[in-house]
Amino acid sequence: MILQPAIGTSRPQRRRLVLAALATALLGACAQPPRLASGATDHWSGRLSLQVEDASAQSFSAGFELQGNPDAGALTLFNPLGNIVAELQWTPGSATLNNGSEHRQSPSLQTLVRELTGSELPIAALFAWLKGEQVQATGWQADLSGLDAGRLMATRHQPLPQTVLRIILTP
């Protein structure tokens, strides 16, 4: 887009117009488009981060939209610009990941998540935690104290590697 200065505008006014247009464009690029709930009662969206503290120090962060339950559902991950990075779908006996360049299939969601992250994640407990239910998951400790403010943190201490999952929910 080329900005043409208005006739009769001074150089400082033109500079302010260009800066305002640039700021508007940058803010627009950073905004994520609103995501509508699909009508399912078990539906969450927000941001998540996963840190696996092993020799490779894996870290992952993305916007997300999650719906379903541990048996069947879908997870969509978004980059900061709101573009889809990956889609994960599962049903009893099958899980599929599509990230645009790769299509992976596995007999279970748990197996696919372990392959992708290098860590066991407590899928069933995660859905319960998101509903505010304090359930136990072997080796994991969940902090639901911030759930009213849309924050959840869970840490796995055993077995190693230590893994930290942080979720910030959006309304």
> Under the phi-then-psi rule, with left for phi > 0, alpha for psi from -120 to 50, and beta for the rest, what region is 139?
left
- Pairing relationship of beta strands 103-106 and 73-78 according to DSSP bridges: unpaired
Per-residue pLDDT, 41: 60
pLDDT of 32 > 50? The answer is no
**Residues 1 and 78 reside in one and the same domain:** no
Tens of pLDDT, residue by residue over 53-67, are 887 777 889 999 999
| pLDDT over threshold 60, residue 34 | no
Apex 83 CA angle, 20 and 93, nearest 5: 160
The reported pLDDT for the residue numbered 55 is 77
Residue 103 lies in a domain: no
Q: Flag whether pLDDT at 113 surpasses 50.
A: yes
Kindly list the strands in the beta sheet with 162-169, ordered across the sheet, starting from the edge strand earlier in the chain.
103-106, 94-98, 84-91, 73-78, 58-68, 43-53, 162-169, 151-156, 140-143
- Domain limits at 159? 43-82+119-169
In DSSP terms, 63 is beta-bridged to 47, 78
Domain assignment of residue 102, yes or no: no
77 & 132 share domain = yes
Q: Are residues 73 and 16 in the same domain?
A: no
Residues 10 and 49 in one domain: no
pTM of the model: 0.72
Same structural domain for residues 73 and 50?
A: yes
The tokens for 7 are: 């006739």
76 and 4: one domain?
A: no
97 within a domain of the structure (yes/no): no
Of residues 10 and 152, the one with the higher pLDDT is 152
**Element (DSSP H or E) covering residue 23:** helix 11-30
Domain count, the chain: 2
